[in-house]
Each structure stands twice: as C-alpha cells, then as structure tokens.
Amino acid sequence: MGSEFNLVFYAPHDSIAKVASDSVFKRIEYLNTILSDYLDGSETNRLSATAGSGEPFLAGPILFDILQQSVHYSKQTKGTFDVSVGPIVQLWRRALRRNYFPDSAQIHEAKQSVGYKKIRLNAKNCTVMLTQKGMRLDFGGIGKGYAADDALRILRYFGISAAFLDAGGDLTIGEAPPQKKGWEIEVSSGGKDSTAKRVLTLKNCGVATSGNTYRFMEHNGVKYSHIVDPRTGVGLTTHTRTTVIAPNGTAADALATAFSVLGIKEGKKVAKKLKSVRIWLLEQNGLEWKTANF
C-alpha cells in the first residue's frame, strides 16, 4: 500500500506471536492485491475497467464492504472524501512525474468521471456499477485504515487484544497494554509550531494525520498539495495539517482526508454531525495561520 506497517502487541508466548504476526502481514498483502490501483490485476482495477459499460460487476466481500464504507463517509463529508477521485489523482501523478501543470481542459475532463453518486451498489447481489465512462477508484484515503482494522481482527482471532499498528503514520489501536490505561500516543498540538506535540493515552480507536508537509507541487509560486479536492480537481492551496481520532482506523483515515479538504469553516459544520470523533486542524493561507479543535 505504499507504506511501512509496524505492529506491536502483547501475546502469551512467542510461538503465538510469530503465527499471529505472520498472519497479519499476509492478510495486509492479500488486501493490497484487492485494493491497489497500481497492480494491473487487482480487483479494484478490474472493476474500474468496467466503468460506463452498463454491466454490473460481481464484487468480492472485501471490495464491496470497503465501497459501502467509502460511500458512507462520502455522504457524511459532502463528497470531500471520494474514492472515485482516481481520474484526478492519475492526472496529477502524471503531472508530477513529467513536471508540468495540468491545464483547465484536462482538469475538467478528469472531473467528469468523478463522483461517489456514480457508484451504484446492490447489496442483495453484491454487485457494483460505475455508471460513468472513465471512472477509476482510488482507495488511497481509506485503504490503510481499513487494512489496519482488519489486522486487529486477525489478532483477536489469536486471543490478542492489546495491540497497536502504525500504517505509514496512521495508527490503529486496540486494547490497552497490561497494567496500563492505554497506549501513549504523540499527536500534533494544533499550534503553528509543527514540532509541538501532546501525549494522549488512547485505546480502541484510530488516529490519522493528513497534510502536505512533504508532498506538494509548486507552480508559479503557489504550492499545490498532493491532497486533491474532488470538487475542483485541483490540489489544495490552503495548506492544512489534520489529525483525527475516530472509533476505528477506517473512519480516522477517511475523515483525515475529508477534513483536510473541508478546512476549518466547512469542517465545523460537518463535525457537528459526527459522533465520537475528535479533530485538530491547522490551516495556513499565505502568511495567515488558523487553528481549530472540534
């Protein structure tokens, strides 16, 4: 999934630990063969290849489940999280590789194939239809969290509940370690100083951070984030660092992307409708800085 996964857990003895950890990493590799948009034969790419054909695609239970959850978070966030953003992501990937800035016609064309409402799910038959030609799915904003949640389920099968998984900086946390109230986690304090941290004691939740500290494109003096707004087809120019604590890794991953796009003003309205979610936003627009917690 383009990220390093690090797993920490407490097991009764080393033989169970070895079998459990091997099972977790094999599961993550398996999920990657389903959800990757880089692998030609992945189930995700085979589904994307049917876009606009009018033919329903019989999806496996994993693909169908993550699509259901993805559409749910799209509805919750006014479409600022959207797994159908693939055509726009592909456009910007090419632009970064070839060092050019996409023109308005290219962006407009890519946007025509984006929109979670163009994903039709039939729960009875477990089928999916992508109604618009050129649609392409991209689970980059939810896949790591989904895989991490699945990893903790695998560990519970082996009787292991005190666990912690770091998926490229996104954390999925199980029960507390023995004789502890929770796992001690450093998160951004939300201030202007990006090195300022606070330590939280957490269990049974997901923590995801999203931002453009290292990945961006600069064009005519303007920095464009690798995080793309599905509504405009352009990388964010108001630079936001977002940290989300949610009930699980899937939710935290998806919402961190969404709130980076929403920003503080829109984000406050959306956050009011979410339960059991904590959000820190640091927003920079030119020389102006804003922070918010909700």
Query: 195 Cβ partners below 8 Å, 6+ apart?
Result: none
Q: Is the pLDDT of residue 189 over 60?
A: no
Query: What is the model's pLDDT at position 286?
Result: 64
Find, among 294, 193, 184, 288, the residue nearest to 238 by Cα.
Answer: 288
pTM above 0.95, yes or no: no
Query: 88 Cβ partners below 8 Å, 6+ apart?
Result: 107, 110, 111, 114, 228, 230, 233
CA distance 218 to 216: 7
Q: Is 199 exposed, middle or buried (0-12, 13-18, 19+ CB in 10 A)?
A: exposed
Find, among 14, 148, 144, 140, the residue nearest to 83 by Cα.
Answer: 140
* DSSP secondary structure of 83-151: TTBHHHHHHHHHHHHHT----HHHHHHHHTT--GGGEEEETTTTEEEE-STT-B---TTTHHHHHHHHH
Query: 60 Cβ partners below 8 Å, 6+ apart?
Result: 34, 43, 126
Tens digits of residue pLDDT in 68-126: 999 999 999 999 999 999 999 999 888 888 888 999 999 999 999 999 999 999 999 99
Mean pLDDT, all residues of the chain: 91
| pLDDT classification of 53: cutoffs 50, 70, 90 | very high
**Whether 190 contacts 206, CB under 8 Å:** no
CA distance 132 to 121: 14
| pLDDT classification of 221: cutoffs 50, 70, 90 | confident
- Report the alpha-carbon angle 100-101-103, nearest 5: 125
| pLDDT classification of 284: cutoffs 50, 70, 90 | confident
**Whether 246 contacts 200, CB under 8 Å:** no
Q: Is the pLDDT of residue 294 over 90?
A: no
Tens digits of residue pLDDT in 13-34: 999 999 999 999 999 999 999 9
DSSP code for 237: S
Q: Is the pLDDT of residue 212 over 90?
A: no
234: number of Cβ within 10 Å: 17
Residue with tokens 């920003």: 263
CA distance 273 to 269: 8
Q: Is the pLDDT of residue 181 over 80?
A: yes
| pLDDT classification of 194: cutoffs 50, 70, 90 | low
Helix (H) or strand (E) segment spanning residue 64: helix 61-76
| pLDDT classification of 291: cutoffs 50, 70, 90 | confident
Query: What is the model's pLDDT at position 215?
Result: 63
The residue among 25 and 286 whose pLDDT is bigger is 25
CA distance 125 to 135: 22
Query: What is the model's pLDDT at position 2?
Result: 83
Query: What is the model's pLDDT at position 149?
Result: 98
Give percent of the chain above pLDDT 70: 93
Tens digits of residue pLDDT in 126-179: 999 999 999 999 999 999 999 999 999 999 999 999 999 999 989 999 999 999
